[in-house]
Structure 1
Amino acid sequence: MAGLPAKLRLQPTAVKSAVLWGVAAATGGLYLVQPWGWIKKTFLEKPEPEQK
């Protein structure tokens, strides 16, 4: 990357901005879809033991 012009190098502010936009997009997507029941069932509730 040393041979690239300064404008083409990956800048820390560009990475930070991309991460922040990704978090904002994921949060907005979850808000629009609102799969709260699925999240609760999948991650928060303990599965009942199977009875034979």
Structure 2
Amino acid sequence: MASMFKFLKPGIRLQAADIQSAALWGVAAGTTALWIVQPFDWIKKTFLEKPVPEK
């Protein structure tokens, strides 16, 4: 992937810190979205409760 950006000046190329920053902002955005929506009932029903067996 680094060879794709060799035509750019060294100061403009993607750095590891840029990728890390983008990942951290993505986590922050996802956490904020979950905090705003708060789908805890859906999470509880989907993952934590066992389904009632049918007779």
Per the shorter chain, which TM-score range? 0.7 to 0.9
The offset of 1:10, in angstroms, is 2.2
**TM-score by structure 2 length?**
0.76
The gaps in structure 2 that reach 5 residues or longer are none
The offset of 1:12, in angstroms, is 0.6
**TM-score by structure 1 length?**
0.79
Q: Deviation above 4 Å: which 4+ runs of structure 1?
A: none
Number of residue pairs matched by the alignment: 51
Matched, 1:21 2:12: no
The gaps in structure 1 that reach 5 residues or longer are none
Q: Percent identity?
A: 57
